[in-house]
Amino acid sequence: MTEHTAPMSSTTPGEFADEIRKELKYTQGVTTEQATSADVYVATATAVRKHLVDSWATTQHDMVAGSTKAVGYFSAEFLMGKQLLNALLNAGLSDQFYDAVKELGFDVQDVIDSEYEPGLGNGGLGRLAACYIDSLASKGVPAFGYGIQYRYGIFKQEFDEQGAQVERPDYWLANEEPWGHIDYNRSQRVNYGGSVVEEDGKKVWKPAWSVRAVPVDYMVPGYASGRVNTLRLWSAKSYDEFDLLAFNKSEYVDAVKPQIAAENISKILYPEDSTPQGKALRLEQQYFFVAASIQDAIRVF
């Protein structure tokens, strides 16, 4: 395996501040004077991503070209944590970031605190998977992590008026999320149910219904390795999201039933499975991301 060393970026604090200004203007649509700390966070994340893209592309090329072995890691959850400081460190831009944000007139901690932690896991399994995919990148081993982009992957814990602990949904995607890249052109079809019939002497599977698995890619940069691996999370979408005829007959709920059924698959991590419906949904989830990931690996390689 070829060793790679990632030198500290030669970008100066002033140059990085200019990059953030450009992202504020062209990505966020605001001036520095109009911007909030959250705007600066998104602009900084977008800017640092561009510093990692070349290494990301090289890592993927090496895998496809067969010049190195690659690892595929499947997990039902990835608890990656906040990504800004890690990306800055691995891009060699940590010091420049602190100086650039101060130059722009913002409090560094306010910008850091604007990042919302992705709710893609809720325990040791998710953290372990995140550590594996991160350490593979730092060791210079090209790898793909495969999982599900849950809309509600974790939950908030609160106390009600009686002092009992209650769970609330944590919609982490409610805020602007600059790290994931959605690619509808690389979606996979995942089929369910149906029956096997014979056609021209061959057994053919006729699925009862299908779900579109849409990949959302996250960069996983390694420390001082030059490798940027990929965490590919699947979001479930319907191929028939909207029934216009039903809607025009004022059957509004029926008009979006296929969309609801499909999106339930990637709605929540570990749905309640004390009922037959809950058990079925869990099985659909597991099959969904495994089937999509295997098809994707075959496509890639």
- pLDDT value at 176 more than 70: yes
Task: Output the pLDDT for position 279.
Answer: 93
Q: Over the chain, what is the mean pLDDT?
A: 88
pLDDT tier at 112, thresholds 50, 70, 90: very high
Average of per-residue pLDDT across 174-183? 87
As a whole number of angstroms, the distance between CA 79 and CA 132 comes to 11
> Which CATH code fits 13-300?
3.40.50.2000
Range 67-71 average pLDDT: 80
Closest CA to 78 of 114, 45, 118: 118
Q: What is the pLDDT of residue 5?
A: 41
pLDDT band at 67 (very low <50, low <70, confident <90, very high): confident
Q: Per the structure block, which two tokens stand in for 112?
A: 């850091």
Q: What pLDDT sits at residue 3?
A: 44
Q: Is the pLDDT of residue 266 over 60?
A: yes
Sequence-ordered alpha helix ranges (H) in the chain: 13-23, 37-65, 84-90, 94-103, 108-113, 124-138, 244-248, 252-255, 257-263, 276-300
Per-residue pLDDT at 148 exceeds 50? yes
Tell me the whole-structure pTM to 2 decimals: 0.88
**Contact, 22 vs 100, CB < 8 A?**
no
Structure confidence by residue, pLDDT tens digits, 278-301:
999 999 999 999 999 999 999 887
User: Do 48 and 93 touch, CB atoms closer than 8 A?
Assistant: yes
Q: Where are the domains of the chain?
A: 13-300
